[in-house]
């Protein structure tokens, strides 16, 4: 009798363990990205990969457009729901990331990506301290100034009602101190702001301006790239730690593949977006080399004050050093 009871008892003890092993880890990924955008479609492709390649052990649910702004998304992420997120402006997580959005700091994708690669270990540690794991980088293109009326200088720009992200009080104060007329709005309220005249200028990547139809109210685009919009995908460490090491490697590889695809697609996507908007009435305001250099010089002088204020001094110095090293090596 004992010989029969023991195997049955052992089997019953193993049932909860086997059920736990079969249970999938479900991850909600939030973003302010619009549904059916190129980023949303790519994330959903990644979700399919994660489920297939882990045999269902990890399921990713993409919730694009589910959040009003990235400030709210960051706060919700830190409270545990969602468990992962995409940020187009990772400065909402930590001010160190503001170094990537400084106006006219970079001159090319190659230069920007060199600095990103060199600073990634620093960013990973910063995210770790925030309880987050970096999965990949994203690229939405280069922000340009879109305006209701023709703009050719920074002084012209100071006469506009300029959009700035709601919740970033230091950026708002910086704009005011330097003679701009900023209007803080949630990302999702930009079209309303343009329609009502609350704002009449905004920095946006061409694809985004086309996607949201913002260019219809701001039909001039200044052909001086402002900054690359470099985003990140992150997951909460407490969720990441529930995933086995083997599956973590699978997820990272999938996320990195998506990163590379998006980086390669951006230049053509950006040019195609500009051409589509031009066909619908957009005017691209082109400046000669001397005018662009003057624009950059004044902007560099203005953003030097970001060091130690909106960006940790050590991160600012690292970025400058790596950027200048890249330029000198060319």
Residue 152 sits in a domain whose CATH number is: 3.40.190.170
Give the model's pLDDT for residue 4.
Answer: 53
How far from chain centre, in Å, is Cα 238?
22
Confidence (pLDDT) at 23: 65
On whether residue 252 sits in a domain, the answer given is: yes
Structurally, how many domains does the chain consist of? 1
Domain for residue 199, yes or no?
yes
Q: Which residues of the chain have pLDDT under 70?
A: 1-23
| Residue 179 falls inside a structural domain | yes
In a domain, 236, yes or no: yes
Domain assignment of residue 16, yes or no? no
Res 39: pLDDT: 87
* Residue numbers of the domain that contains 37: 24-329
Is 128 among the domain residues? yes
Q: Is residue 59 part of a domain?
A: yes
pLDDT of residue 16: 46
Read off the pLDDT of residues 222-248 as tens digits, 9 standing for 90 and up: 998 999 999 999 999 999 999 999 999
């Amino acid at each position: 009798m004992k010989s029969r009871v023991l195997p049955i008892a052992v089997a019953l003890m193993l049932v909860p363990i086997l059920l736990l092993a079969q249970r999938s880890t479900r991850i909600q990924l939030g973003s302010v990205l619009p549904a059916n955008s190129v980023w949303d479609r790519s994330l959903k492709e990644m979700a399919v990969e994660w489920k297939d390649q882990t045999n269902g052990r990890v399921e990713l649910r993409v919730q694009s457009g589910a959040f009003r702004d990235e400030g709210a998304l960051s706060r919700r992420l830190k409270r545990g729901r969602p468990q992962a997120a995409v940020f187009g402006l990772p400065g909402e997580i930590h001010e160190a990331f503001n170094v990537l959005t400084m106006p006219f700091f970079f001159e090319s994708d190659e230069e920007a990506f060199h600095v990103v690669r060199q600073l990634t270990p620093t960013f990973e540690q910063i995210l770790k301290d925030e309880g987050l794991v970096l999965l990949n980088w994203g690229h939405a293109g280069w922000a340009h100034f879109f305006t209701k009326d023709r703009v050719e200088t920074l002084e012209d720009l100071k006469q506009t009602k300029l959009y700035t992200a709601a919740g970033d009080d230091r950026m708002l104060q910086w704009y005011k101190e330097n003679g701009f007329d900023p209007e803080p709005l949630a990302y999702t309220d930009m079209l309303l702001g343009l329609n009502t005249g609350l704002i009449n200028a905004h920095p946006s990547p061409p694809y985004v301006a086309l996607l949201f139809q913002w260019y219809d109210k701001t039909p001039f685009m200044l052909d001086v790239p402002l900054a690359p919009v470099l985003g990140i995908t992150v997951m909460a460490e407490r969720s990441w730690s529930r995933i086995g090491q083997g599956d973590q490697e699978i997820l990272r590889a999938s996320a990195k593949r998506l990163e590379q695809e998006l980086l390669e697609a951006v230049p053509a996507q950006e040019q195609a977006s500009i051409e589509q908007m031009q066909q619908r009435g957009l005017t691209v305001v082109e400046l000669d080399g001397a005018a662009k250099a003057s624009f950059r010089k004044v902007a560099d002088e203005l953003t030097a004050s970001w060091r130690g204020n909106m960006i940790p001094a050590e991160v600012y110095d690292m970025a400058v050093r790596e950027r200048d090293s890249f330029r000198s090596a060319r």
